[in-house]
A and B are shown apart, each in its own frame.
Chain A
């Protein structure tokens, strides 16, 4: 149990954060795309994420929650070191979260202002999450290269969110907005690809210990499926985004699915790079783990509730399945 539980919680945390990136990723992406749409389209875009965003955002609470519950020592180290980007992200999430309601409840004269804050909050939150991820990968160390690296991810992650958002809109909308969503996805896919490529190249450069883990035989061969599958999926995305006819015929979900695959591969790669550390080169997951009896108590809870959560999340996505319509969100 003492060996196993920290690994189990590492997996739960990774899963929660991956789901967060995918789910809140699409609604933050929709927020970032907001200024590009007409006023009526804005309402529709927000209606398409209205029933989901709150639950989507809860996944980051679970991710940070598991960090706190299972790895209290690492929780303190990581969150203290990331004080500034976290504070900025929270400001972004606050603005974005309240703008949902205020834009329709504070009177029409203020609507445009809340739309702007919605956009601003989404962009701020996305960028600072990228910054946090970058600092985390570099082991929370400062310095010019590390800052540049964090800055690079701070640009790449929002690009990923934008294309997630665009693909969500392709599934949920029709007509002019659907066509725009394809254009937005086409525009975002190249920067996202370049960003991912640069991050992949830069990661072993900024971190010697990650380089050591990837560039040794036979591990390097075993790891090849990760970059290779990413490249294949990416090529597939480039292709399908040039086929609006297919997308319109109900294949829009393939874009989202492709992005899910890329994110899954990226997180597997990241997990491999970090393991067994939770703070790279400083703290292993066993050193940072909470007491076994505490982990055991919460493990039962996770084993029972997590499948239930996933179950009713799917139930709710089914209820609101199909193209979004104007919601009477007055």
Chain B
């Protein structure tokens, strides 16, 4: 079989971007949590908050480093694998990426040094400001890159001369139609990812009896945040879907596997979309539900895949990614509400619940990955929706070179992922040393006042 450089480059970019998003999706949200811990400490003087900060800043640093190195790889791959993209769209993508480097990358990378190593070198206030600047930096970074990504999904404010894109309206480009929805959806997603990671790892610590003075504090903060944010995310996700229907109907048709345009379209709960026969096998459908959800009318018309022959994304992948994301969202809602209920009524969490919560530490990752797969694979075959096809911008490298680099990346990413999860496990199974607690935080090693009494009896 002849290996297609286009397919190889796509797999490589997909692998890279999927690996990369894991880490920013934690750091963007986690940094705001860290800022919250810092402010709480400065306000209350309660050392548990400071301990919470410094135990999570380690995980933040590790995650941030992985985000940086995988991000640098991406910035090079635009040129090494997709040179046509910058040649055609450089006038628009360039400034957006440039502002990301200038307003975000330097700020976060520079002040991170103070966050990690500046505790004894600067005042508490400067340290808090440094944390704030890193949080702002990561959020700015998300702002610019999501603006560019959204523009690729819903391009406006440009004209094409001789195949090259020129900007005509920068405001329209930056705040393009899908951007406000994607930005909100992603920021909440990141807060949720980090909330569940904090909750999951804290649950793991309690189960392994390596909990420290902040573990229960962290459990409460993260579960309450998750319980509040998950419903909000569902509403924002719904609005984002309506926006997608308006601007990218082919993506919606693939997400819902609507083969023919119809009024009062049913919602397919699950099934196996089959592109050969253009039907969904073994489908379980709820009559009229898709029209109701997407048009908010019982007999609303939904455009089907028949309107986009040869120009719609692979159906099964988008269909299933969407269901994984939504399913994960429902699970997050359930778990966070049960947790808050238990904390409210029983002031503690049961062992069974903690065992369910621990693996939910990675629920945000699964939802974020599935969500990005929906939106990115759902854009295919376009790189700029409706205007520029991905296959027209790819570099024509020999397949052997691409196979080599792809294999290398996959091996490296696999290795790093294992190492990352191993390090998380190592850090969370290490009970805090009492010497550190006493000297650095003025806490007694038995100072687990935040630990509920019932927990001690188990």
A residues with CB within 8 A of B: 50-52, 54-55, 57-58, 60-62, 64-70, 72-73, 75-80, 82-84, 86-87, 90-91, 93-94, 97-98, 100-102, 105-107, 290-291, 293-294, 297-298, 301-302, 305-306, 309, 312-313, 316, 319-320, 327-330
Contact = CB atoms under 8 A, between A and B. Distances in A.
Nearest to A99: B65
Interface of B: 58, 61-62, 64-66, 68-70, 72-73, 75-76, 78-80, 83-84, 86-87, 90-92, 94-95, 97-99, 101-103, 105-107, 109-114, 116-119, 121-122, 164, 166-167, 170, 395, 397, 401, 405, 408, 412, 416, 419, 422-423, 426-427, 440
Contacts of A80: 79-80, 83, 395, 397
A58 B122 CA distance: 24
30 contacts: A50-B113, A50-B117, A51-B116, A55-B110, A58-B109, A61-B72, A64-B79, A65-B75, A68-B90, A69-B90, A69-B97, A75-B78, A79-B83, A80-B83, A83-B405, A90-B72, A91-B408, A97-B65, A97-B69, A98-B65, A98-B69, A98-B419, A101-B423, A102-B62, A105-B58, A294-B92, A298-B95, A301-B98, A309-B110, A328-B119
Contacts of A327: 117
Contacts of B117: 50-51, 320, 327, 329
Contacts of A79: 76, 78-80, 83
A51 B117 CA distance: 7
Please list the 5 inter-chain residue pairs (A to B) with the smallest Cβ-Cβ separation, ordered nearest first.
Answer: A72-B90, A76-B83, A79-B79, A51-B113, A69-B94
A57 B68 contact: yes
B437 to A, nearest CB: 13
A281 B234 CA distance: 56
A305 B102 CA distance: 6
Given A61-B105, A312-B110, A94 B78 contact: no
Contacts of B416: 94, 98
Given A80-B395, A97-B68, A75 B86 contact: yes
A76 B62 contact: no
A291 B91 contact: yes
Contacts of A54: 64-65, 68, 109-110, 112-113
Contact of B427 (A91, A105, A306): A105
B421 to A, nearest CB: 11
A58 B106 contact: yes
A79 B73 CA distance: 12
A93 B73 CA distance: 9
Specify which of A66, A73, A87, A306 lies most central, judged by the most chain B CB atoms within 10 Å of its CB. Answer: A87
A232 B164 CA distance: 50
Contact of A75 (B90, B95, B166): B90
A91 B405 CA distance: 10
A295 B436 CA distance: 52
Contacts, number: 205
Contacts of A66: 98
A87 B103 contact: no
Contacts of B422: 106
Contacts of A301: 95, 98-99, 102-103
A238 B405 CA distance: 42
Nearest to A69: B94
Contacts of B95: 69, 294, 297-298, 301
A105 B62 contact: yes
A50 to B, nearest CB: 6
Contacts of A328: 119, 440
A229 B66 CA distance: 41
Specify which of B87, B95, B408 lies most central, judged by the most chain A CB atoms within 10 Å of its CB. Answer: B95
A294 B167 contact: yes
A309 B113 contact: no
Contacts of B84: 76
A316 B110 contact: yes
A309 B106 contact: yes
B263 to A, nearest CB: 45
A330 B121 contact: no
B419 A106 contact: yes
Given A51-B113, A54-B65, A291-B166, A76 B405 contact: no
B116 A329 contact: yes
Given A55-B113, A309-B106, A320-B121, A87 B86 contact: no
B394 to A, nearest CB: 10
A294 B168 CA distance: 10
Nearest to A293: B167
A72 B94 contact: yes
Contacts of A90: 72-73, 76
B309 to A, nearest CB: 32
A76 B114 contact: no
A94 B91 contact: no
B426 A106 contact: yes
B98 A298 contact: yes
A190 B56 CA distance: 46
Given A83-B80, A305-B102, A57 B419 contact: no
A153 to B, nearest CB: 19
Contacts of A61: 72, 75, 101, 105
Contact of A94 (B102, B122, B412): B412
B57 to A, nearest CB: 11
